[in-house]
Amino acid sequence: MKRYRLDPAKVRKLTPAEARRLGAAPLDYSGIPPLGDEFFAKARVAWPPPKQQLTIRLDADVLDWLRAGGRGYQTRINRILRAAMESSPRRSPSAPAPDANPRSRRLPKPA
């Protein structure tokens, strides 16, 4: 899917027909109550959540696959991880995390 980004330096001009349509029906804002200082004092940015920078080691073929999609591979990594996170059942904070790497398990010492 191709995404288009607006460039503020290249503002698209309205065609004469678009300008006439916009001028013919002015917007009526009278039904919207004004927002007071109390509203803006409570207002918070909810999305997107703040991101953290980190270093991650990926297999070369995985990274090549992600980069083959063009710009935005880090965003794709984030979306893939978010989809995995949202599709997995939530664990309680007190429950120990399952050990995903069998090699990291400690073997019992031989007797």
Q: SS3 sequence, 42-78?
A: HCCCCCCCCCCCCCCCCCHHHHHHHHHCCCCHHHHHH
Please give the pLDDT value at position 107.
Answer: 58
Please give the pLDDT value at position 21.
Answer: 84
Please give the pLDDT value at position 65.
Answer: 95
Please give the pLDDT value at position 79.
Answer: 93
Please give the pLDDT value at position 110.
Answer: 65
- CA–CA distance, 35 with 108 (Å, rounded to integer): 66
Running along the chain, 111 residues long, what does each successive block of 10 average in pLDDT? 76 87 81 89 82 93 95 94 91 63 58 61
Q: For residue 89, how far is the Cα from the chain centroid?
A: 21
Please give the pLDDT value at position 1.
Answer: 67
Write down the domain spans for the chain. 55-87
Q: Are 73 and 67 in contact (CB under 8 A)?
A: yes
